[in-house]
């Protein structure tokens, strides 16, 4: 059985997601944040099912999911674009914590053969505690 819980997101996770979003075209940022959260969920599910980190997606943390993309270095100044990315990152994490994901989003679940299959994204609880 696959867990529907997530690892608790930290401030570092949020900052890493914002830096990933900063490298993403503005029109694609919302879907990129959902993709990163879903990758973290896949890795978490894999860990729950097999007892080890996912070989490609990592340990189930949002940061591990983000660093597979083009994460920019931490900006030295708070530009309006970076602040927008920070807000989007916090909003995505908040929606996830509240179990409020848009219906058009889907998550991937891990099967025994390590194949990723697309299924509807259902949340029953908030973030799990590490």
pLDDT 10s digits, 24-55 = 999 999 999 999 999 998 998 998 999 999 99
Assigned token pair, 125: 């609880």
pLDDT at 117: 36
pLDDT digits (tens, 9 = 90+) for 85-110: 999 999 999 988 887 654 334 444 44
Across the range 1-5, mean pLDDT stands at: 42
Residue boundaries of the structural domains of the chain: 6-128
In this prediction, residue 5 has a pLDDT band, given cuts at 50, 70 and 90, of low
Identify the residue with better confidence: 115 or 51: 51
In the predicted model, what is the mean pLDDT of the chain?
A: 77
Reply yes or no on whether the pLDDT at 119 is more than 90. Answer: no
Identify the residue with better confidence: 53 or 4: 53
pTM of the model: 0.73
Dihedral pair phi/psi, residue 48, rounded to 5°: -60, -40
Mind giving me the DSSP string for 33-92?
HHHHHHHHHHHHHHHHHHSS-BTTTBSS-HHHHHTTS-PPPPPSS--HHHHHHHHHHHHH
Q: Quote the CA–CA distance of 99 and 46 in Å, as a whole number.
A: 20
Secondary structure of residue 7 in the 3-state scheme? strand
């Amino acid at each position: 059985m696959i867990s529907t819980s997530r690892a608790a997101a930290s401030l570092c996770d949020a900052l890493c997601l914002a830096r990933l979003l900063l490298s993403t075209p503005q029109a694609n940022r919302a879907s990129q944040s959902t993709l990163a959260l879903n990758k973290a969920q896949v890795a978490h599910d894999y860990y729950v099912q097999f007892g080890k980190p996912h070989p490609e997606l990592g340990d189930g943390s949002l940061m591990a999911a983000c660093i597979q993309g083009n994460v920019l270095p931490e900006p030295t100044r708070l530009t309006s674009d970076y602040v927008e990315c920070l807000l989007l990152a916090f909003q995505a994490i908040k929606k996830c914590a509240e179990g409020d994901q848009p219906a058009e989003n889907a998550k991937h679940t891990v099967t025994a053969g390590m194949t990723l299959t697309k299924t509807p994204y259902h949340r029953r609880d908030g973030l799990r505690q590490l």
